[in-house]
């Protein structure tokens, strides 16, 4: 059965210190799986990545993992994925993730997460794709980033229209619904009727 939508999730391969991060990762995966969606992600079992994948599978969703060969052991490739693609380079990974997604969502993470988020956002502003990009700001994790981005607008290195290309919020369900609808799709009701 074809999934109702496909969300590419970028997030940490570590869990972070705040339990809210783990709860958000689980909520994201549960929402995707519970609404008949597909998760496209980095293919690992560690950190928030593993939590999102596990929750998606537990909720009945489909999971596509894409991981470079060099990270298969380091990030413990998730063998339970419906599709696990082992690719040669990070460029191949990111290209395939972008191709398989209807929308992009970043959760808390480190420099890899930020790099992927900014690439998807940059490609959107350049017109390489028109897929929605979202940022889940759990426990104020990205507050300082938004302060910096606001400063970039004030200093005229960015424009307001560029800021409007990224959806953000702290409620996983609200943000996911906004992204799916922004992709021109409609998430079905939860499979469990809730």
Q: How far is CA 51 from CA 59, 60, 118, in A?
A: 12, 14, 23
- What pLDDT sits at residue 192? 56
Q: What does the pLDDT look like over 57-81, one tens digit per residue? A: 999 999 999 999 998 888 889 999 9
Q: Which residues contact 91 (CB under 8 A, 6 or more apart)?
A: none
d(CA 190, CA 36): 8
CATH topology of domain 6-182: Rossmann fold (3.40.50)
Q: Would you give the DSSP letter of residue 127? A: T
- What pLDDT sits at residue 110? 97
- What pLDDT sits at residue 194? 45
Tell me the mean pLDDT in the region 92-102: 96
Q: What does the pLDDT look like over 136-161, one tens digit per residue? A: 999 999 999 999 999 999 999 999 99
> From the CB of residue 100, how many other CB atoms can be counted at a distance below 10 Å?
16
**Every domain of the chain and the residues it spans:** 6-182
> 3-class DSSP state for residue 16?
coil
Q: What does the pLDDT look like over 117-139, one tens digit per residue? A: 999 999 999 999 999 999 999 99
- What pLDDT sits at residue 191? 59
Give start and end residues of each alpha helix (H) in the chain: 19-34, 47-58, 90-100, 111-126, 143-154, 160-163, 172-182
Phi, psi of 9 (to 5 degrees): -110, 125
d(CA 172, CA 80): 24
Q: What percent of the chain has pLDDT over 90?
A: 91
Phi, psi of 72 (to 5 degrees): -55, -45
Tell me the mean pLDDT in the region 95-121: 97
């Amino acid at each position: 059965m074809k999934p109702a939508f496909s969300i590419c999730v970028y997030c940490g391969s570590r869990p972070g210190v705040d339990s809210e991060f783990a709860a958000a990762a689980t909520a994201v995966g549960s929402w995707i799986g519970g609404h008949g969606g597909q998760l496209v992600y980095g293919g690992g079992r560690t950190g928030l990545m593993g939590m999102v994948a596990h929750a998606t599978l537990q909720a009945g969703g489909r999971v596509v993992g894409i991981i470079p060969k060099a990270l298969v052991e380091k990030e413990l490739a998730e063998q339970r994925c419906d599709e696990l693609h082992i690719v040669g380079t990070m460029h191949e990974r990111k290209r395939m993730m972008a191709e398989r997604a209807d929308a992009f969502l970043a959760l808390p993470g480190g420099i890899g997460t930020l790099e992927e988020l900014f690439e998807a956002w940059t490609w959107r502003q350049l017109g390489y794709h028109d897929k929605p990009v979202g940022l889940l700001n759990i426990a104020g994790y990205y507050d300082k980033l938004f302060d910096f981005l606001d400063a970039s607008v004030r200093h005229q290195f960015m424009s307001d229209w560029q800021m409007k290309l990224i959806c953000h919020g702290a409620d996983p369900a609200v943000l996911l619904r906004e992204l799916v609808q922004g992709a021109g799709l409609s998430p079905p009701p939860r499979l469990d009727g809730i």
